[in-house]
């Protein structure tokens, strides 16, 4: 299994907006990154607190910048494994109904294309707290997955975020995955237990099964049964990226903790 961390662009890097981030990730020992697309996040950090501004959406990233980012990733040996469409939180504040997501769908489809251009294998999507009907969310997701299938990028919807649509939680998302029945659409797993969930990580992983696109993780916690979690990942055949969703100041410690978990239980 590989390990990555969520990051954003850095201001005024002389090589590429991600060159310094990739260099630092290589120095710490991360295999990859998850690139956040959201102007709220500070450059090179993932906590959302700071003075930086990232791209509003993929349409802001020119072909020249895309080429420079790919070159930086190759030079540092750090994969741009996943992307995350975090701008959707802001979009949803002004478009609280799923019926208002026509432009949002265009942006999500563009994000999938950016993921492909940067060599990513998957992208996390969501619609913030916008709500509507089952038919509307199914239409939105299917149109995004259409681009994923064409560009060979897996599209994952995080269950905790899907619940904010008011259409159900993890079980409902699994139902949507089964209805669309595409190898390019699945669940982006992040168990918030014991904060906001009843099911523990290994229980959620077994429920999601082979529908898992990627795996988010908060900072390692003594409250999680890691032997059971890792066994569940083996049971469902998941052996790709473990993506840390932590602040940049926690990056090194999270990686050290992950290495200990994997050596002790992996």
Q: What is the CATH number of the domain that holds 131?
A: 3.20.20.150
pTM for this structure? 0.93
pLDDT tens track for 70-125: 999 999 999 999 999 999 999 999 999 999 999 999 999 999 999 999 999 999 99
Average pLDDT over the chain, rounded to whole?
A: 91
Is 194 buried (19+), middle (13-18) or exposed (0-12) by CB count in 10 A?
exposed
pLDDT above 60 for 266: yes
DSSP state of 30: -
What HEC string does 135-170 produce?
Answer: HHHHHHHHHHHHHHHHHCCEEEEEHHHHHHHCCCCH
176/174 Cα distance (integer angstroms): 5
In this structure, are residues 152 and 116 in contact, taking their beta carbons and an 8 Å threshold? yes
pLDDT above 80 for 55: no
In this structure, are residues 229 and 205 in contact, taking their beta carbons and an 8 Å threshold? yes
Cis geometry, peptide bond prior to residue 194 (ω within 30 degrees of 0) = yes
Domain total in the chain: 1
Residue-level pLDDT at 183: 98
Average pLDDT (8-17) is 87
- Residue 23 banded pLDDT, cuts 50, 70, 90: very high
- Domain interval for residue 245: 2-265
Q: Which helix (H) or strand (E) holds 4?
A: strand 2-7
pLDDT tens track for 149-201: 999 999 999 988 999 999 999 999 999 999 999 999 999 999 887 766 678 99
């Amino acid at each position: 299994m590989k390990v990555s961390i969520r990051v954003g662009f850095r201001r005024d890097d002389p090589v590429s907006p991600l060159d310094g981030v990739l260099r630092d990730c290589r120095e710490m020992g991360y295999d990859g990154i998850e690139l956040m697309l959201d102007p709220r996040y500070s450059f090179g950090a993932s906590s959302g607190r700071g003075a930086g501004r990232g791209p509003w959406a993929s349409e802001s990233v020119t072909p020249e910048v895309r080429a420079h980012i790919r070159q930086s990733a190759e030079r540092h040996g750090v994969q741009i494994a996943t992307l995350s469409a975090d701008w959707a939180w802001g979009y949803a504040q002004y478009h609280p109904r799923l019926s208002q997501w026509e432009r949002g769908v265009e942006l999500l489809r563009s994000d999938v294309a950016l993921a492909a251009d940067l060599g990513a294998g998957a992208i996390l999507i969501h619609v913030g707290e916008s709500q509507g009907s089952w038919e509307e969310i199914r239409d939105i997701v299917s149109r995004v997955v259409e681009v994923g299938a064409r560009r060979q990028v897996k599209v994952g919807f995080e269950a905790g975020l899907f619940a904010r649509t008011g259409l159900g939680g993890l079980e409902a998302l699994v139902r949507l995955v089964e209805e669309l029945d595409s190898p390019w659409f699945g669940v982006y797993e992040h168990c918030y237990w014991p904060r906001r969930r009843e099911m523990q990580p290994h229980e959620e992983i077994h429920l999601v099964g082979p529908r898992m696109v990627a795996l988010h993780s908060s900072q390692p916690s003594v409250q999680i049964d890691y032997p059971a979690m890792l066994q569940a990942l083996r049971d469902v055949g998941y052996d790709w990226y473990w993506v840390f969703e932590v602040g940049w100041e926690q990056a090194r410690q999270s990686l050290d903790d992950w290495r200990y978990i994997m050596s002790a239980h992996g």
